[in-house]
Amino acid sequence: MPQQERPPLVDDDTLDELEREWFGRVHGRVLEIGAGEGENFGALALDVVWTGLEPDAERRAELAIRAREWGHEQPPLAASAERIPVPDGAFDAVIASYVFCTVPDPAAALAELRRVLVPGGRLVVAEHVGAPQGTAKRAVQRIATPCSVRWCHGCHLDRDTERAIANAGFLAEEVRRVRARSFPLGALPILLYEGVSPA
């Protein structure tokens, strides 16, 4: 990719602000998949009725505590995004931050998200993603991914999450791409995506 087409490099504070702005957009019944230890609570609008999903028991325990502190009464679901134990159309929006790099089967997870969203429901994500195909960065990511999967909790550095979301049938409404400093591989491409599940 020519230098001038590269997404802007942002610092950690700017990325935090972008994420807060992105996740502040959702309203109503919101499912957060791979919610970790609840990093996004501060970004959510006051009208959000939050349901968390977190397969890791230790993180889920911490998440449950933080959820209660933020006034979200429902205990997080012990489940994976590929199999969500709720009826069809249960949510107005789904959010995810830095989850699709780790999910073992992104296509299955995205099909589940379509199922649990109401028609027209929103998908809002912030994810680190693969660099453009054919770039040196992408080659490095491909080589490094077996190590990151092994030692960084299943994290794939080279996922085409934007394409996977489109392949699942979501319609993009706003997409922003930036790069964030990271160690040891240098700037990491970040995808900020907002789209809808078609009616």
Ligand X SMILES: C[S@@+](CC[C@H](N)C(=O)[O-])C[C@H]1O[C@@H](n2cnc3c(N)ncnc32)[C@H](O)[C@@H]1O
The residues binding ligand X (CB under 6 A) are 33-36, 39, 53-56, 59, 80-82, 97-99, 102-104
Give the integer Cα–Cα distance in Å for 175 and 88: 26
Report in angstroms how near the CB of residue 74 gets to ligand X at its nearest. 17
If the CB atoms of residues 108 and 140 are measured against ligand X, the closer one turns out to be: 108
If the CB atoms of residues 52 and 121 are measured against ligand X, the closer one turns out to be: 52
Report in angstroms how near the CB of residue 13 gets to ligand X at its nearest. 16
Q: Which helix (H) or strand (E) holds 114?
A: helix 106-116
Give the integer Cα–Cα distance in Å for 145 and 68: 36
Give the integer Cα–Cα distance in Å for 86 and 195: 21
If the CB atoms of residues 57 and 136 are measured against ligand X, the closer one turns out to be: 57
Read off the tokens for 174. Answer: 């706003």
Report in angstroms how near the CB of residue 42 gets to ligand X at its nearest. 12
Phi, psi of 156 (to 5 degrees): -95, 125
If the CB atoms of residues 6 and 98 are measured against ligand X, the closer one turns out to be: 98
Count of Cβ atoms closer than 10 Å to residue 79 Cβ: 16
Report in angstroms how near the CB of residue 33 gets to ligand X at its nearest. 5
Report in angstroms how near the CB of residue 171 gets to ligand X at its nearest. 23
If the CB atoms of residues 15 and 53 are measured against ligand X, the closer one turns out to be: 53
Give the integer Cα–Cα distance in Å for 45 and 184: 35
Are the C-beta atoms of residues 34 and 102 closer than 8 Å to each other? yes
Q: Whose CB is nearest to ligand X?
A: 36
Give the integer Cα–Cα distance in Å for 128 and 116: 24
